[in-house]
Amino acid sequence: MSVTLRRYTAQPGYSEDFNKVCEFLVRINSKKVVTPNYLWARWEWQFGPYMNMENLSKIGIAEDNGVIVGLATYESDIGEAFFCIDERYGDLKPQLIDYALHNLSNNGEIGIMLPDGDLEYQRAAVKQGFIPTKNKSEVAMMDIMNLSYNLPGGYKIMSFDDDNFDVDRYFNAIWRGFNNQRPRNEREIEAMEKREGFDAPHLNLNLRILVVAPNGDYASHCGMWYLPGSDYAYVEPVFTLPEYRKIGLGKAAVFEGVKRCGELGAKCAYVISSQQFYYNIGFYPVHNETVWARTT
């Protein structure tokens, strides 16, 4: 093995490095899912609209003869770190933590996400002065089988590939659906105007589900990500407008999206959440991570 650590390209957008990382995440989860907390779809979903493009070159890539075998990245911006690794290269874990400490810190502060029970990661973190916090991230999974739901009268299901889909109405709905009370800032307005995320390489518009209210409101939404030939799907994002909650619309949107992925070949679906909503509709917890903190 001849492993080297290098920086991700500074080039924004769906570059060669973007595609290599995506292929790496697909590859290491092909036989069994080993990074349910950071699947290819999370990388693609966050990229662009929700990820600071100015710090891309601080992301770390471990390669063996040009093939990616490890990744140290942030999701929103520096000050946080997530790790993904080919299981055959477990000895790289201390190096990835060290890389994050020296390249992904924000004014000396950083929180790293480590899987509970992974002693290799945890012992390496302790040696670098990290301590676990009470902050957690949890992944839940649903087996895809016999999914059914009911919609209230007058409501209907629509996906983004429908001729009547209104992208501006969707952007307004997702803003309200996540309980944003403030006006959008300049960067958020720009992202909306540029339709960022709608050019994602593996976006399937038929898997972006809307529950439409009788008055035309996009009352609820579930985004699904799936690659043909894989066994799993990924849920992101899900929202319901405040005035339409508690009447089964969120369940309907999720079930419709998951069902469509099942029809394409998925056997299960993952979501990064510990909300009771997901447990109530059939998801169950399968993976936990803890934020480890260090102030340098």
Domain limits at 48?
A: 3-136+289-295
CB 161 within 8 A of CB 206: yes
CB 179 within 8 A of CB 240: no
d(Cα 189, Cα 142) in Å, to the nearest integer?
A: 35
CB 230 within 8 A of CB 265: yes
Whether residue 81 sits in one domain with residue 161:
no
pLDDT tens-digit series, residues 253-271: 999 999 999 999 999 999 9
Tell me which residue of 113, 59, 124, 115 sits closest to 91, measured CA to CA: 124
Band (pLDDT 50/70/90 cuts) for residue 296 is low
Interstrand relation of 67-73 and 156-159 (parallel, antiparallel or unpaired): unpaired
Band (pLDDT 50/70/90 cuts) for residue 1 is low
Band (pLDDT 50/70/90 cuts) for residue 189 is confident
276 within a domain of the structure (yes/no): no
Q: Which two tokens stand for residue 144?
A: 């895809």
Whether residue 219 sits in one domain with residue 128:
no
162 within a domain of the structure (yes/no): yes
d(Cα 150, Cα 251) in Å, to the nearest integer?
A: 9
Q: Which two tokens stand for residue 161?
A: 């590939």
Q: pTM of this prediction?
A: 0.95
d(Cα 241, Cα 104) in Å, to the nearest integer?
A: 35
Tell me which residue of 85, 73, 240 sits closest to 155, measured CA to CA: 240
115 CB-near residues (< 8 Å, 6+ apart): 37, 121, 287, 288, 289
Q: At 190, which CATH number?
A: 3.40.630.30
49 within a domain of the structure (yes/no): yes
277 within a domain of the structure (yes/no): no
d(Cα 234, Cα 202) in Å, to the nearest integer?
A: 12
